[in-house]
A and B are shown apart, each in its own frame.
Chain A
C-alpha cells in the first residue's frame, strides 16, 4: 500500500503542482483564487494524509481534494453573492462584418469561446471543462464529481450542443 510520507508528498508537489493549478484555473477562471485553492489543496492533502491509504493515485486524491475545496469556495461565494445586487449585463453579439488582422481574429474568437463557456449552466460547464481541457473520461468525471455516469453524459451532450449552437457562426474561423 502506498503511503503519503514526506518524500512522496514532495514528489506529488513537484509532479502535480502546475497541472492542478491549471485544473483550478479552469474552474475558477481567476489566478489568485486558483493559487489560493492550490495551496489549500496541498495543505489539506498533507494534513489528511492518513485518509489517503494508498487508494487510487495520489494525483487523483489531490485533484478530488482540490475539486471539493473549489465547490466549498464556490458555494460560499454564491451565498455571499446572493446578498448583493446583480450587476451583470448581456453580452453583445460580435459585429458581422468585422475585418481584423489574424492575431486579433484569434483573440476575438477566444473571447467568444470564453463568453459561450460562461453562458453554460455551471454543472454543464464543469463537465465540459473536465472533458475537453483536462482530458478526463466520462467515468472519471462521474467519480470526481460524485455524479452518475449517465448524468455526466447528458450534461456533456447538452453543453456541447449549446456551445455548437452559440459558436456555429464562427465555424470558418476554426484554427
Chain B
C-alpha cells in the first residue's frame, strides 16, 4: 500500500483560512467554492468560532516522564552517549580507596553539608490552617421555592433549612407538628394556603419539624408550645415565637413580626440567584468529593467571586482553602518520605501533581519534583507573599 500523499480537502483549506495560513489566491478560490456550497459556508463559520474558543486548550504544554531506559528492552544505554568505562571490581575498589583518602586529606568530611536548594511555593501554604467542612447541599435544594403558588412548601430537615437560610440570607419559619393532628390538618387547608401568607413566605425558609422524629429533649421543648411557630435566624436563635393554632391572618401577623426583626439585615438573594449558586456549590463539592480537583478549584473560584452572596462566597473560599491544605498535606508527606526514600518521595510528588493537575497548586509540586530529580535532595520550601 502506498503512503497517502495528504491531499488537502476543502475542510483542511478552511482550517488554513481561519488560521491565516492560506495564500490570497487560494483563499479567493476557496471562497468561491464556499459561496456555492452551504455546508462549506456553515463549516467555515462554525469552525472559526470553535477554533477561537478552543484556543486555550490548543497549547497543551506537557511532557512525558517516560525514559528511554523504560522502552529499550535490550539495554538501557543511550547509543548516542559515550560508553562508560568498564572497570573490574578490583580496579573500582582501588579507585574508591584513593578517592576516600584524598577526601580525608582535603578535610572534605569536615565541611558543613551543602544547603538544599530552595523552592518558592506560589500557591501551596506552608502552615497548617483550620479548614471548614464542605457544605453539602442536596441537589434538590438547587430548585427550591417556599411556595408552589398554592400552598407553603415545607422542608422537613431543620439542618438543611438553616443551611439554605444562611446561604440565601433568609430567616427560618419553624413549625412543629404531629402528623395527622386535627389542628395541623385544618391549618394545611386554610392558613398554609392563605394568599397573603403565600405573598410573604418567599422571604423565609419554612421548615416543618415532625415530632415523631425528634429526640426526647426536643419533644419536650416543642410540646410546651404546641403547635410551635417561630421565626428563627439561621443559627437557631428565636426572633419571634407565636405558638398555637393559626388562622391565615394570625400566621401572616406572626411572620411579619418575625421579619421585622430582620429589617436591618441585607436583602436576601433572589431564589433564582440562590438556585444558580446552590447548583454551583453542589457541583463544586461533588467534584471535590469525587477527586475532580481541577473542576472543584474552578467552581469554588466562581463562588468566591460571587460578592453579592457572602455565604456562597465564603463557601467558595473555604473550598479553595481545603484544597490548598490537602495539597500542603501531600507536600509535607512527600517531604517526610524523602529522608528515608527519595524515589518514593518522587513518586508521591508525581501522584500529587497529577491529583492537583490544572490547578495553580500543581506548579508547586512540579517545581519541588524538578529540584528533587535534579539534585537528589528535597528542596527547602519557602512561601511567596500572596
Contact = CB atoms under 8 A, between A and B. Distances in A.
B3 A35 contact: no
Contact of B58 (A39, A55, A98, A133): A133
A108 B280 contact: no
B73 A46 contact: yes
Contact of B11 (A10, A92, A156, A163): A156
Interface stretch (A24-32, A68-76, A77-85): A24-32
Given A6-B79, A133-B58, A164 B49 contact: yes
B295 interface: yes
B77 to A, nearest CB: 10
Contacts of A38: 64, 66
Interface of A: 6-7, 9-10, 13-14, 17-18, 20-22, 25-26, 31-32, 34-35, 38-39, 42-43, 46-47, 55-56, 60, 92, 95, 98-101, 104, 106-111, 113-114, 131-133, 137-140, 142-143, 149, 153, 156-157, 160-161, 163-164, 167-168, 170-171, 173-175
Contacts of B68: 10, 13-14
A76 B327 CA distance: 33
B357 to A, nearest CB: 7
Contact of A92 (B55, B74, B280): B280
Given A21-B64, A104-B302, A163-B46, A157 B39 contact: yes
Interface residues of B, number: 54
Contacts of A108: 298, 302
11 contacts: A21-B63, A21-B64, A92-B279, A100-B305, A113-B54, A138-B11, A156-B43, A163-B50, A164-B46, A167-B50, A167-B53
B9 interface: yes
A154 B221 CA distance: 70
B79 A104 contact: no
Most-contacted residue by chain B among A47, A138, A171 (CB, 10 A): A138
Nearest to B2: A55
B264 interface: no
B53 A114 contact: no
B74 to A, nearest CB: 7
A133 B53 CA distance: 13
A139 B9 contact: yes
Given A132-B58, A164-B50, A92 B283 contact: yes
Interface in B1-34: 1, 3-9, 11-12, 15
B305 A104 contact: yes
A140 to B, nearest CB: 6
B72 interface: yes
A95 B49 CA distance: 21
Contacts of A140: 4, 6
B60 interface: yes
Contacts of A101: 305
